């Protein structure tokens, strides 16, 4: 018999990978990340988010990627 659990079971369905957006503050150069939002793209200048370190309102998206899973030791 085949293994129907492998075909229909919940393990087979991978969740959609959730990328992070990395923003660099134009004032202090601090890089911080947050979950990806629609209309984000690399090199986009964002004026609507405050830098958590210096409070600067202008930052730039420098990277968008899905973080690698850390393998358990």
Partner 1 sequence: MAVSFVALLNPAAGSDNLLSFLLSLVWIAFLMIFFLYPSLGQRMQLSYMLRDLERKLQRLKLIRDEINQVAVDTIKRVGKPDSDPSKELERLSEFFLIQPESMDPYGLVFKLEHILETGETTYEKEVAAIAPHATETQLKTLTNLVEILRGINTLYRVVRHYYLLGRKTSNIYMVLQIQMVIPMLIEIAESYRQAAVAFSKGQPIGDGVGVLVAAKLADGLEKTRYEIAKDTIVQEIELEGRKVYVIRAAGPGGTVGRPGEAVKQLVEKLPSNPKIIITIDAALKLEGEESGKVAEGVGVAIGGPGVDKYKIEELAKSRNIPLYAFVVFESITEAITPMKESIAKAADVVLARVKKLILEKVEGGEIAVVAGIGNTVGVGG
Residues that bind partner 1 (CB under 8 A): 1-2, 4, 7-8, 12, 14, 16-17, 19, 36, 38-44, 63-68
Q: How far is the CB of 22 from partner 1 (least distance, A)?
A: 9
Pick between residue 55 and residue 71 the one whose CB is nearest to partner 1.
71
Residue 26's CB is within 10 A of a number of other CB atoms, namely 16
Residue 70, sorted as left (phi over 0), alpha (psi -120 to 50) or beta, turns out to be beta
Hey, what are 22's tokens? 């990395």
Hey, what are 68's tokens? 């690698």
Q: How far is the CB of 4 from partner 1 (least distance, A)?
A: 6
């Amino acid at each position: 018999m085949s293994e129907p659990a492998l075909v229909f079971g919940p393990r087979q369905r991978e969740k959609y990978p959730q990328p992070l957006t990395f923003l660099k503050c134009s004032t202090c150069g601090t890089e911080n990340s947050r979950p990806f939002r629609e209309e984000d793209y690399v090199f986009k200048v964002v004026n609507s988010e405050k830098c958590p370190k210096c409070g600067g309102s202008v930052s730039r998206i420098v990277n968008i990627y899905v973080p690698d899973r850390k393998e358990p030791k």
